[in-house]
Chains A and B, each alone.
Chain A
Amino acid sequence: MSKKSTMVSIKYCVAVFGLLSLQGCFVGEIVCRGLGHARESMGCRTSNGDSLTEDEGLIIGGPGGGTSPKSNQTGFVGQGFGLVRMMPEQLSQNIKTLGFFDGHEVPNTYTGDKLDLLTLIYGVPLGGLDFETSSRRDPLTKAQTVLVSRTVSYSFALQIFYKDFQRPAGERLIFTSCDINQDRPFGLTGDADLAAPWQEHIKKGEVRWRAQVDDLFWRFLSRPPTENEIGPIKDLFFAALEDQKWTGAGWAGLLYALLASEEFWHL
């Protein structure tokens, strides 16, 4: 944030709230956001110095071509703020939307409410405490919550993968950009020793593989992957191929990683 814009922001905060504190600046920034069109003229800036624009938060990138965002494009808007975990119902809804699952709410015959099935099964409200269990949310994540999040992530990753895998190739809903059984990244031990046509074949498949990876990142995290994430993803697929001789294990592992990431569980 430039000195000038910082001063404007601080002055604004002081005028409105009478607060000469860092927190006041954050509050001022919230107000700026709330004012929409007026914010630019008020000198509001994001923490990294960029002006706020109408399509702020929409990360521009493209799947399929390996287009990587700039380093600051994957960040959240409002970088001056803390993060909150999603509420249980948000998580359930997200997972349900991602995996096209139904039935994650069950009616409570006593109260007429709908209970969140995830909470019902695992006991721990996944997004922290909700109104059912406490009057306030838990500001500190417990190891229990992370444990349950991993359990749910793994379970759902497998379910999502197998549900789509069992569909005929042309009717899949998630794995639409690649051949789920064949396409993979180039670079597995021995790939370099293959005949040129085979190498070419694998590299063509890698383009489709990458398109599918991009697609999954958009679905789960609303952004494409960064270049430094592609390496570990390839390593994951190589491990799956060496250990289990099947790219499907790599896809299931990738789904698990995306679902278990901090980014998926936080706003």
Chain B
Amino acid sequence: MNDAFKKSLPRRQWLRQTSQWLGGGLCMQMGGVELFLTEPNALAQGAVGSRKFIQIFLLGGWDSALAGDPVIPGGGKFAATTYDSRYKLASHGEYLGAPQQVPGKSNLWVGPGLTPALQTLSQVPMALINGIKVEVTAHELAMNYIYTGQMSLSRSREYPSLVATMANHMGGFPAHIVLGQGVPLAETAVNNPPLQTVDTSLLGSMLAGPYSNNALKEKTIDRAHQLIQTLNRNFEDKQSLAGKASLNSWKAGEGQLQELYRQRFDQKLGLTDALHAQFATGGKTDSPGAKLAVGALALESKLTKIVTVNFGGFDTHSNHHSMHLPLMQNFAKSLQGLLDYLMGHQDPDQPQKKLIETTTILITSEFVRTPQFNGAGGTDHWQSGSAILLGAGVGDHMVFGSTNDHGEPQPFQSQSLLPEHLIASILRSFGYSEDAKLISEVNLNGLLA
């Protein structure tokens, strides 16, 4: 085997030769630039401010009539003739449920999908944003529009999502946590990328590195790390000034890892049986409840200040009733767990406050669904969006926008309510006015303090 490696030019040598032959000048420049630019991210503890943000994105397009937009003037939407008659009766003959008023909030009504969280919702500041005109109903385009507040019809131009923009300002490492599929990052991916995992069990083990695994014991791992340092030192000694400069940020990153490993986030982010029960995880580590639980733990353990949780299944083009409502209700149980947790735990940055007092939660989806069923008993994409805001800074009892009995967006204060209005308003409330201005001059006054 050794001979085979030596007889031919090894692959790595080919890559090195090619790289240096064709791109050496550029590489040198990159190294040179790094001499001046290397400024490693601090760990998240060094990030500015103490306000926190959780974005919950229900992928696929949620049925807002089951959630935060169940009423039209005169009563519940399901009673309207424009809504499919099957909204009145579920497949098993059960009544889907009338809209319910959030206790103590006379103008806030929610559909049967959120009923499990009703009592908890009454205890936190809550605002509804309905009838957002999204214009596009292709998943990726609409998703990006809602995430970013900016419409891009081209894959070649990506805008940063709300969370990415906020994380870019806050800095720190990791800038933000994404539990689920990726979010639009655009240029923020260069400076402040997130940590992303699909399965929550990966996040802790990733942050604790080899120490989270019992295959090698601590002493052996420590020796392996000493060997890595020797290998790296030898490697760096052979490099020119430009070569050494190219390695600066890698070295800085390695230095931060030691501190990160020391904190043992695998233990801090672990889901106990009690948390599994509280967040209605179903015993799974990739369920919505598990993601919300780990998101809450990430805030409490000071790993980050910004968390995105997303999960799919809401694109119910068939069997809408038997699939969508249970999904929503399961989510509502997990949401209740999240709100209870945030109400019961202190903010690590401000121990005199509970996390719910410093954390703003945005729940949304790329669009809503048609009032009428298709031939497969499902619902399709509809040109309207909706959102729910909860927690810190939220204008309690507020409702912005509305839809008619066809589920169509209605003008709000004589103009269309657009995703950019919502995103810009949130950015402003966090103090990022310049970024907000680039997205929209409009502010939804009263939505957020």
Contacts and interface: CB of A to CB of B under 8 A. Distances in A.
A151 B34 contact: no
A82 B257 contact: no
B11 A76 contact: no
Interface string B225-246: 1111011101110111011011
Query: B-side binding surface: helix, strand, loop or mixed?
Result: helix
Interface in B187-246: 187, 189-190, 193-198, 202, 205-207, 209-210, 213, 215-228, 230-232, 234-236, 238-240, 242-243, 245-246
A148 B209 CA distance: 9
Nearest to B13: A57
Interface string B308-320: 0000000000000
A77 B15 CA distance: 12
Interface stretch (B19-27, B142-150, B327-335): B19-27
Given A218-B6, A249-B216, A262-B232, A122 B206 contact: yes
Interface in A77-128: 77-86, 90, 94, 97, 121-124
B240 A81 contact: yes
A267 B15 contact: yes
B178 interface: yes
B11 to A, nearest CB: 7
Given A23-B29, A215-B2, A148 B206 contact: yes
B178 A123 contact: yes
A229 B230 contact: yes
B257 to A, nearest CB: 6
Given A84-B246, A147-B209, A235-B223, A30 B24 contact: yes
Given A76-B238, A229-B227, A236-B223, A142 B215 contact: no
Contacts of A171: none
B30 A243 contact: no
B260 A147 contact: yes
Contacts of B218: 243
B222 A77 contact: no
Interface residues of A, number: 90
A51 interface: no
B23 A143 contact: no
B31 interface: yes
A144 B195 contact: yes
Interface in B56-111: none
B196 A86 contact: no
B220 A29 contact: no
Contacts of A134: 158, 185-187, 189-190
Nearest to A267: B19
A133 B189 contact: yes
A222 B242 contact: no
Contacts of A239: 219-220, 222-223
Interface in A142-177: 142-148, 150-151, 154, 158, 173-174, 176
A240 interface: yes
Interface in A218-257: 218-219, 221-222, 226, 228-229, 232-233, 235-236, 238-240, 242-244, 249-250, 252-254, 256-257
A141 B242 contact: no
A47 interface: yes
A47 B240 contact: yes
A252 B216 contact: yes
B48 interface: no
A151 B37 contact: no
Given A33-B21, A123-B197, A79 B217 contact: no
Contacts of A240: 216, 220, 223
Interface string A29-59: 1100110000000000001000000000110
Contact of A123 (B15, B20, B41, B194): B194
Contact of B2 (A47, A63, A129, A256): A63
Contacts of A158: 213, 215
Contact of A146 (B27, B195, B257): B257
B16 interface: yes
A143 B216 contact: no
A262 B31 contact: no
Nearest to B188: A134
B12 A221 contact: yes
A214 interface: yes
Contact of A144 (B5, B9, B174, B242): B174
A82 B235 contact: no
Q: Is the interface of A mostly helix, strand, loop or mixed?
A: helix
B257 A83 contact: no
B139 to A, nearest CB: 10
Interface in A60-88: 63-64, 72, 74-86
B376 interface: no
A163 B16 CA distance: 29
Contact of B24 (A81, A174, A221, A266): A81
B116 interface: no
A229 B227 CA distance: 7
A244 B223 CA distance: 13
Nearest to B233: A228
B275 interface: no
Nearest to B194: A123
A71 to B, nearest CB: 8
B344 interface: no
B235 A263 contact: yes
Contacts of B20: 30, 33, 76-78, 81, 267
B223 A122 contact: no
12 contacts: A29-B24, A33-B21, A72-B238, A77-B20, A82-B30, A121-B198, A134-B158, A134-B186, A142-B41, A142-B253, A150-B209, A242-B219
Given A47-B240, A94-B11, A150-B209, 4 more contacts: A76-B239, A83-B31, A122-B206, A257-B224
Interface of B: 1-2, 5-6, 9-13, 15-17, 19-21, 23-25, 27-34, 37-38, 40-41, 156, 158, 173-174, 178, 182, 185-187, 189-190, 193-198, 202, 205-207, 209-210, 213, 215-228, 230-232, 234-236, 238-240, 242-243, 245-247, 249-254, 256-257, 260
Ranked 5 nearest A-B pairs via Cβ: A82-B31, A123-B196, A75-B238, A146-B253, A82-B246
Interface of A: 23, 26-27, 29-30, 33-34, 47, 57-58, 63-64, 72, 74-86, 90, 94, 97, 121-124, 129, 133-136, 138-148, 150-151, 154, 158, 173-174, 176, 214-215, 218-219, 221-222, 226, 228-229, 232-233, 235-236, 238-240, 242-244, 249-250, 252-254, 256-258, 260-263, 265-267
